[in-house]
Amino acid sequence: MSPEKFSEPTLCWICGSPCSGSRVTCSDECHEKLVDRLESEFGIYKKVVDIETGKIHRVPTRDIIEKGLRQQDMRRYPEWSMTCQ
Ligand SMILES: [Zn+2]
């Protein structure tokens, strides 16, 4: 038992069971439910502004949940054009 397991107890966002590591859900099943829930709430893509260039990028909500979003990843995503809302 490592002490950091006690300092940061994480409970599954979906069912409330304890999670391991840095995950926010306890299982793949709950993870998929979380992605579904957030996609229906925020949309499949989110508009994210690159603070360096001021451009808006079209970033899949799933990627933000699964990988997080770092500044250097931003330019890998296509720019959000006005014609595709
Ligand atoms: Zn769960």
- Name the residue ranges covered by the structural domains of the chain: 1-42, 43-85
Residue tagged 């950091």 (tokens) = 4
pLDDT band at 81 (very low <50, low <70, confident <90, very high): confident
Residue 79 alpha carbon to ligand 1 centre in Å: 34
pLDDT of residue 8: 63
pTM, 2 dp? 0.71
What are residue 70's phi and psi, to 5 degrees? -110, 155
pLDDT band, residue 71 (cuts 50/70/90) = confident
- DSSP bridge partners of 85: none
**Ligand 1 centroid – CA 5 distance (Å):** 18
Distance of alpha carbon 55 from alpha carbon 27, whole angstroms: 35
Q: How many whole angstroms separate alpha carbon 24 and alpha carbon 16?
A: 10
Rounded distance from Cα 21 to ligand 1 centre (Å): 14
- Enter the tokens of residue 42: 């925020």
Under 8 Å between Cβ of 58 and 42: no
Tell whether the model's pLDDT for residue 6 goes beyond 90.
no
Tokens of 24: 């926010």
